[in-house]
Amino acid sequence: MQTRRLGTLYPVSRLALGGGGLGQIWGKTDREEAIATVHAAVAGGITLFDSAPLYGRGEAETVLGLAFAGRPPPGARFTTKCGLGNPPANEVASIVRRRLERSLEAMRLAQADLLFLHSYVVPDDYRVPGVDAETQDRFATRLSLYRDRVVPVFEDLAREGLIRHWGVTGIGLPAAIVDVLGEAPRPAVVQCIANCLDSAGGLNRFAVPAQPREIIAAARANGVGVMGIRAVQAGALTDALDRELAADNPDRVDFDRAAGLRALARTMGTATAKLAHRYALGIDGVDTVVLGVKNREELKECLDAEEEGPLTAEQSRAVDAAVGRR
């Protein structure tokens, strides 16, 4: 397994094990298989484990706690997240601390290497199209609240030693994310879309494209590490969807858009998901690619993709052409 420095931080494996599959949100698995997948990830050289309370209502963090029993291998790094929304300013510190402590307890850790804000950051006067203010306040954090309360709380937690560093989720309004990446104190890491469609699928709740390449470029310009997410875009960049989706579902739309990618994968004699992961590994500025696997079989395919390495420039151009990306 190759490693790369995560921004200005420590070296991490080129693949990170994400908590979505472990938390059973990407299809059926069970706790025993999830724990076995964690162990197989370690054996395969993965050193970064990315989780959140949202993944299976704590199941992913519980799996990590059981897998390592409070004694992770040397060099292992762990992330967690706090979905904050837009609470009253005087409640931010208690909410973040309470949720972080709950995550640490589940993972059986004294400290998280990274704590991410798991909310969209939006300008104070922005309104998400088609969403009422109360609903928006559950998943979006105002920029002023982020600057005045969230950042100071995260900085305090780092000084106390409950976290080493903090980051943000790079999905939302691109201009707001770019602003955040250029401000001090700035996040150490951003999690950003890394797929050939440049698509966040159903996670994009805004009336503008996700623009991940621009966000990644801003991160690199400011020394911010990049964890690439959604390499297979919720299953859209695979040979077949593992669940029924309506024709207008964003992930189903992306699956249909990717018909050319599946055809290309067949001509190359490879699985579409492997091709998508190799493409993501080659996106300039991405330090590590977070996997959404739910079992050892899916993990092995990703480990094989990393061993084969990123696509050549010619192969990447073929992928871009197959999905109509210019």
Q: Which two tokens stand for residue 23?
A: 């938390």
pLDDT (mean) for 166-183: 94
3-state secondary structure of 17: strand
CA 143 – CA 141 distance, rounded (Å): 6
Tell me the mean pLDDT in the region 8-17: 97
Q: Identify the DSSP state of 201.
A: G
The closest alpha carbon to 10, from 282, 194, 225, belongs to 225
With cut-offs at 50, 70 and 90, classify the pLDDT of residue 11.
very high
pTM exceeds cut of 0.85: yes
What is the mean pLDDT of the segment spanning 198-219? 93
CA dihedral defined by 38, 261, 305, 316, rounded to 10 degrees?
-130
27-54 tens-digit pLDDT:
778 999 999 999 999 999 999 999 999 8
Domains of the chain in sequence order: 3-323 (3.20.20.100)
Report the alpha-carbon angle 169-177-51, nearest 5.
5
Question: How many alpha carbons lie under 13 Å from residue 2 in its C-beta half-sphere?
Answer: 16
Instruction: Quote the tokens at residue 323.
Output: 């999905």
H/E element holding 189? strand 189-193
How far is the C-alpha of 272 from the C-alpha of 241, rounded, in Å?
A: 12
Helix axes 92-107, 151-160, angle to 10 degrees: 40
- What are 189's two structure tokens? 């890491």
At residue 172, the pLDDT reads: 84
Tell me the per-residue pLDDT of 53-93, one tens digit each, with 9 for 90 and over: 988 788 999 999 999 999 999 999 999 999 999 999 999 99
Q: Please state, for a pLDDT cut of 90, what percent of the chain lies above it.
A: 88
The DSSP secondary-structure symbol of 312 reads P
What is the structure's pLDDT at 137? Answer: 93
